Amino acid sequence: MSKQGPGLFIAFEGGDGAGKSTQAARLGEALEARGFTVLRTREPGGTPIGEKLRSLVLDHGHGHIDARTEALIFAASRAALAAQVIRPALDRGDIVLTDRYIDSSVAYQGAGRGLGQDAVRSLNEWATSDLQPHLTVLLDVDPAVGRQRRAAGDAAEDRLESEADEFHGRIRDAFLELAAARPDSYLVLPAHLPVESLAAQILGRVDSLLVAQEAESVGTAPSVGASGGGNA
């Protein structure tokens, strides 16, 4: 991991329909209620150029996009987000919550599109100057269940979501392998659990991280700052 500021960086990952946005919002609200400054963002997107790249890569109607082009667009959007939004927020000591990060490219483009996980990881580590999350929350969802959940919502399926369940199965396996390889940096939860139960487990893990970070910072630089009265 390259040098990064005193804040805390948490990524939410998982297949489409896993409920990442709901959980990121819940965690953000809980931390803000305690006085932490929280920055929530999403990928692709999160910057003006990133939002343009988002519609280029997700909307139907741009003709065929080959796998390498797709990987580079996601990486370009991520480069902008890391440099312009995430790093500055961590430098200020904020808590950054992102809906998807590098693991999404490793899983979707590396495993799903078959570009190779190592190649896609290297590309993205270069793009972000190796900015890595302290914790990745993986909401594990069965592809068929994810599809049902998406069908129940109002939004039309984007280019990636409309791929076959088999494609989404490769992505699910890749996410689980990434988490199994570095268990200390992941919290893996079954996405079908009740929203409240997921939110409580995620907050519990983040609390432990904040306590550990606080202990590490005693006597050194200030760590994740609670702007109000709250502390973990």
Residues interacting with ligand TYD, by CB under 6 A?
A: 16, 42-44, 58, 74, 99-100, 104-105, 108-109, 158, 160-161
CA 163 vs. chain centroid, Å, equals 21
Mind giving me the DSSP string for 166-206? HHHHHHHHHHHHHHHH-GGGEEEEETTS-HHHHHHHHHHHH
Full strand arrangement of the beta sheet holding 8-14: 38-42, 95-99, 8-14, 135-140, 186-190
User: Least separation, in Å, of the C-beta of 43 and ligand TYD?
Assistant: 4
- What burial class does residue 25 get, using C-beta atoms within 10 Å of its C-beta: 0-12 exposed, 13-18 middle, 19+ buried? middle
User: Least separation, in Å, of the C-beta of 177 and ligand TYD?
Assistant: 17
Which residue from 166, 148, 78 is spatially nearest to 157, judged by alpha carbons? 148
Specify the residue, 34 or 149, whose C-beta has the smaller distance to ligand TYD.
149
Specify the residue, 16 or 94, whose C-beta has the smaller distance to ligand TYD.
16
Which residues contact residue 81 at a Cβ distance below 8 angstroms, ignoring those fewer than 6 apart? Answer: 41, 43, 45, 46, 47, 50, 98
Tell me which residue has tokens 């580590």. Answer: 125
Specify the residue, 95 or 115, whose C-beta has the smaller distance to ligand TYD.
115
User: Least separation, in Å, of the C-beta of 73 and ligand TYD?
Assistant: 9
User: Least separation, in Å, of the C-beta of 123 and ligand TYD?
Assistant: 11
Specify the residue, 40 or 100, whose C-beta has the smaller distance to ligand TYD.
100
Specify the residue, 42 or 87, whose C-beta has the smaller distance to ligand TYD.
42
Dihedral-angle region of residue 42 (phi above 0 means left; psi in -120 to 50 means alpha; beta otherwise): beta
Which residue from 104, 90, 93 is spatially nearest to 178, judged by alpha carbons? 104
User: Least separation, in Å, of the C-beta of 217 and ligand TYD?
Assistant: 31
User: Least separation, in Å, of the C-beta of 200 and ligand TYD?
Assistant: 23
User: Least separation, in Å, of the C-beta of 135 and ligand TYD?
Assistant: 17
Are 50 and 81 spatial neighbours (Cβ–Cβ below 8 Å)?
A: yes
Specify the residue, 58 or 79, whose C-beta has the smaller distance to ligand TYD.
58
Dihedral-angle region of residue 19 (phi above 0 means left; psi in -120 to 50 means alpha; beta otherwise): left
Specify the residue, 73 or 187, whose C-beta has the smaller distance to ligand TYD.
73
